[in-house]
Amino acid sequence: MKIQSNEKIKNLKDKVKGQIVLPGDPNYNDVREIWNAMIDRRPAVIVQCAEADDVPHAIAYARDNGLEISIRGGGHNIAGSALCNNGVVIDFSSMRAVKVVAQKRRAYVEPGATLGDFDKAVQAHGLATPVGINSTTGIAGLTLGGGFGWLTRKYGMTVDSLISAAMVTADGRKIQVSEDENPDLFWAIRGGGGNFGIVTEFEFALHPVGPEILAGLIVFPVDQAKQVLENYREFVKSAPEELSIWVVLRKAPPLPFLPVHVHGKEVVVLAIFYAGDIAEGEKLIDPLRRFGNAYGEHVGAQPYVQWQQAFDPLLTPGARNYWKSHNFIELRDGALDSIIEFVGKIPFPQCEIFLGLIAGAANRVSSNAMAYGHRDAKFVLNVHGRWDEAAQDETGMAWARAFFKASAPYASAGAYVNFMTEDEGDRVAAAYGVNYARLKQVKKKYDPKNIFHNNQNITA
Ligand SMILES: Cc1cc2nc3c(=O)[nH]c(=O)nc-3n(C[C@H](O)[C@H](O)[C@H](O)COP(=O)(O)OP(=O)(O)OC[C@H]3O[C@@H](n4cnc5c(N)ncnc54)[C@H](O)[C@@H]3O)c2cc1C
């Protein structure tokens, strides 16, 4: 650990409005904790920014002292890229404001805002934009990698609603990026991650949603998985884009609407979301009940913000998490078979396989319109290995890797950069796909020394 001199730290403290947290401070361990407990890194300095003007000082401090930089939004990245050992963490967890201009259907969002902060603020005006399914995820990392959720079928990826951003560049300049200002950089940050500079504010377009939507779960026994998945595959081909259905396969948590004997058994769950007229949605989803003989269901009208938190209890911070992910253009029989095989081998109760449906608006954007280029992807599959003890790492990771390998022949070439773990350096080019060469050029222009390298890194 490089101990920073008192004088240098005092100098930095004098310059920034936010807090500086150092090893030895009573809150150091709390502040350096992130969502994935598998990541344990000890930064030399954590700058908890209070305003955008703190950012150039933090960058200058790192540069002048030969320290690397990492950027923390919501701290959810599975690879743990929010943290670095011995370096400077530029931490936005104190900058979480979301300002809404309802008449213009715009939101101006600070980079430490969580999805929960965002949804709450915009839903006060009956508005939303597509973001992920766990309310404690950071809007910053999610957006910069692409971003998808329940509204993606209807309104596209999160980046498709990004209008502009305020940024600080590697050389400490504050700039705006949009279609009109620094358009090359605006193109790159919409899917290229934190490779190019630090975003200090996002401007999003908002869309009318809810505030009540129809959503919930229908839970089937795993021995009906084949028929449920085949019916699902057929049904979603013609389902309207207001309707999003994801499939989750796991051991049943103790949900109150399930009989006790089902708790802990492998199940197939249809997670349903309909952002339209509730009565119309009820009619639309009725056939799902006949995909098999369900153990139970819990579906009904509820506030959008409530559904946006529905999975939080299964995704709390503090567990050890290891993911592997594929994109799919179609669900071939082999893909379904491999899913079913590996659900039967789930090693620990919190592990799951999920299949997110994103077909719709996201597919109508051209693959080079912005850095996020996987416009052919209709499903995103994630195998979510999750457990509590380090001693379980080997078994859990082996399961996730074996499933990833078994399902690979049926996947498309792309990968979702936001779902990649730290050991997937060999997939970086695939993750940036058709846009990789152009991303390298932008990287060369804005960050030639690669000071922003704690990410799925693009090297010039
Ligand atoms: C439980 C869970 C559920 C998820 N569900 C979804 C989902 O439904 N849909 C989806 O699309 N994704 C989902 N994700 C993935 C998520 O999009 C990524 O983990 C994302 O990186 C999280 O962003 P963050 O700000 O919380 O992460 P952090 O770890 O804080 O940041 C990740 C990286 O983003 C970059 N970054 C962060 N802030 C900035 C900034 N201000 N300027 C420049 N670069 C920055 C940095 O490179 C940083 O290392 C989920 C993740 C988790 C853990």
Q: What is the mean pLDDT of each run of 10 residues along the chain (460 residues)?
A: 83 97 97 97 98 98 97 97 97 98 98 98 98 98 98 98 98 98 98 98 98 98 98 98 98 96 97 97 98 97 98 96 96 97 96 97 98 97 97 97 96 92 86 94 97 93
Which residue's C-alpha comes closest to atom 51 of ligand 1?
76
Residue 1: predicted pLDDT: 65
Q: How far apart are CA 398 and CA 322, in angstroms?
A: 10
* Ligand 1 atom at shortest distance from the alpha carbon of 133: 8
| Ligand 1 geometric centre to CA of 241 (Å) | 25
Which residue's C-alpha comes closest to atom 45 of ligand 1?
194
| Ligand 1 geometric centre to CA of 46 (Å) | 18
Q: Is 350 exposed, middle or buried (0-12, 13-18, 19+ CB in 10 A)?
A: buried
Q: Is 113 exposed, middle or buried (0-12, 13-18, 19+ CB in 10 A)?
A: buried
Residue 328: predicted pLDDT: 97
Provide residues with CB under 6 Å of ligand 1: 35, 70-78, 81-82, 92, 111, 132-134, 137-138, 140-142, 144-145, 147-149, 193-194, 198-199, 315, 418, 454-455
* Ligand 1 atom at shortest distance from the alpha carbon of 356: 8
- Tell me the whole-structure pTM to 2 decimals: 0.97
Which residue's C-alpha comes closest to atom 34 of ligand 1?
141
pLDDT digits 0-9 by tens, 76-111? 999 999 999 999 999 999 999 999 999 999 999 999
pLDDT digits 0-9 by tens, 120-130? 999 999 999 99
Q: How far apart are CA 273 and CA 307, in angstroms?
A: 9
Residue 81: predicted pLDDT: 96
Residue 199: predicted pLDDT: 98
Asked whether 416 and 79 are in contact (CB, 8 A), the reply is no
Which residue's C-alpha comes closest to atom 47 of ligand 1?
194
| Ligand 1 geometric centre to CA of 418 (Å) | 6
| Ligand 1 geometric centre to CA of 333 (Å) | 32
| Ligand 1 geometric centre to CA of 72 (Å) | 9
* Ligand 1 atom at shortest distance from the alpha carbon of 36: 53
Residue 205: predicted pLDDT: 98
Asked whether 363 and 375 are in contact (CB, 8 A), the reply is yes
| Ligand 1 geometric centre to CA of 114 (Å) | 10
User: Distance of CA 453 to CAs 193, 323, 357, 448, 458, Å?
Assistant: 10, 21, 31, 11, 8
Q: How far apart are CA 315 and CA 296, in angstroms?
A: 22
Q: If you count them, how many residues does the chain have?
A: 460
For 273, left (φ over 0), alpha (ψ -120 to 50), or beta? beta
What are the φ and ψ backbone dihedral angles of 276, each rounded to 5 degrees?
-155, -160
| Ligand 1 geometric centre to CA of 199 (Å) | 13
For 364, left (φ over 0), alpha (ψ -120 to 50), or beta? alpha
β-pairing, 19-21 vs 45-48, is antiparallel
* Ligand 1 atom at shortest distance from the alpha carbon of 194: 44
Residue 423: predicted pLDDT: 85
* Ligand 1 atom at shortest distance from the alpha carbon of 134: 3
Residue 246: predicted pLDDT: 98
Task: Report all structural domains of the chain as residue ranges with CATH numbers, in order of start.
Answer: 6-91 (3.30.43.10), 98-209 (3.30.465.10), 212-425 (3.40.462.20)
Q: How far apart are CA 410 and CA 179, in angstroms?
A: 36
Choose which residue among 418, 428, 446 to substitute to test ligand 1 binding: the one with the highest number of ligand atoms within 8 A of its C-beta.
Answer: 418
Residue 422: predicted pLDDT: 85
